[in-house]
Structure 1
Amino acid sequence: MTRVDAPREDRATLLRFVERFALVLRESGMAPMPARVFAYALADDADRYTAAELAEGLQVSPAAISGAVRQLVQIGFLVREREPGTRSDLYVLDDENLWTRFTGAELSALQRLEDVVAAGIDLIGVQRPGGRRLAETREFLAFLHEVLADAVARWPEERTRRAVRGSAG
């Protein structure tokens, strides 16, 4: 049973969560409709959708979905597939290592920030207040990069440990 077929109260609960999660994603920089589509695909029970099914599930127009799925395919959150004999694309949440891939992209962004700040330090120097602030920024970004990279590297083992602990509890 897809969520579209679920009882009205279950659908309303799902959509309330989707809107709440999408708002947090938007505040983190994701565009509104991709945030809603991603939150829906993550929380809904189905594992693949047509654009029409996403539009129906989110209660939006199909036109609103096309740009959102295009962006989510580009960043690797959704995969576009097609079933033999059909004309509609299917969108599948690529949930294998989703958050480690997402964090890997964030690590790249952190590295770019670190590089730009380091170049600023070279230009300004650390003798001036602005240069000292940039130096602290660089150190914080380097620290954050190290911690996140370590967390990504440790996650497969940690995921297994948590799954074992969860199934025992």
Structure 2
Amino acid sequence: MTSEDRRRIAEGLAAGLTYAEIARRLGRSRSTVTREIARNGGPHGYRAARAQHATSWRARRRKRVPHAVVAPAANDLGVRTTREFAQQFVAMMIETGLTPMTARVFAALFLSESGSLTATELVQQLHVSPATISHAIKWLEQRGMVAREREARRMRYSVDADVWYHAWVASARAMAIWAETTRRGAGIFGTDTPAGDRLQTTSQFLELLGHDMAQAAEHWRQALSMQRRL
């Protein structure tokens, strides 16, 4: 990635372009652009000059301390490894559909020592406004991925080992709502019309999918319950 590439990434972010569009204009893959942004401050904190400087510093540091000659301290290795994984984790979530800020908030919670952080801690860690954190948390809560609880005058957000069960159940409920709505639509339009036929087919698919999702979630809940009793 050249300094000119980074300048164009910064300009693209400022113009509100998607990662895919920025990647297309640069002639690079979306995953490359996603990792570059996540590694250097995220969509709101990305600065071309700072990214270029950080990359040069990392390159010089690797050159000064070859791993084969001088092994880094165990703690230092752990810090750098977890940071790299966190960047990859965020990039993966963005690549699979989450917005950059929602991905960063979830990663901060999921990879924290206790699985929970206060709103203030998230603001300080991610260097964004409380409103930005609130917006991301709302999206995650609606999908069962984050829980909240009040501690005195502050709010604490958390994830736990059952996060994927809750998220899966929430998705199954969403499928049921879609199935019911499209079923009603098929009745209104008439299944002998193109729109009605599409609605009926959609309803049948989503009803089956929602049923299978609910069964899978219950199977996991029972398996996890048995595992915890052992």
TM-score of the alignment, normalized to the shorter chain, above 0.5: yes
Q: Does 2:198 correspond to 1:133?
A: yes
Sequence identity (%): 24
- Determine which structure has more spread, i.e. the larger CA radius of gyration: 2
Query: In the TM superposition, what are the counterparts of 1:52-131 in structure 2 within 5 Å?
Result: 52-58=120-126, 60-63=127-130, 64-69=132-137, 72=140, 77-82=146-151, 89-95=154-160, 97-131=162-196
> Residue 167 of structure 1 aligns with which residue?
none
Name structure 2 gaps, 5 residues minimum. Answer: 1-74
How many corresponding residue pairs? 151
Shift of 1:61: 2.7
The Cα RMSD (Å) is 3.1
> Residue 61 of structure 2 aligns with which residue?
none
> Residue 9 of structure 1 aligns with which residue?
80
The structure-2 alpha-carbon separation of the partners of 1:18 and 1:143, relative to structure 1 and needing over 3 Å to count, comes to same
Could you list the structure 1 runs, at least 4 aligned residues long, displaced by more than 6 angstroms after superposition.
none
The structure-2 alpha-carbon separation of the partners of 1:78 and 1:97, relative to structure 1 and needing over 3 Å to count, comes to same
Partners of 2:190 and 2:196 within 8 A in 1: yes
Shift of 1:70: 5.5
Q: Secondary structure at the match of 1:41?
A: helix
- Please report the TM-score for the alignment, with normalisation by the length of structure 1: 0.69
- Counterpart CA distance in 2 for 1:133 and 1:74 is 28
The structure-2 alpha-carbon separation of the partners of 1:11 and 1:62, relative to structure 1 and needing over 3 Å to count, comes to farther
Q: Which one has more relative contact order, counting CA pairs under 8 Å at least 6 apart?
A: 1
> Residue 111 of structure 2 aligns with which residue?
43
- Counterpart CA distance in 2 for 1:146 and 1:73 is 22
The structure-2 alpha-carbon separation of the partners of 1:31 and 1:16, relative to structure 1 and needing over 3 Å to count, comes to closer
Q: Deviations over 1:122-145 (max 9, x none)?
A: 122222333222222111111101
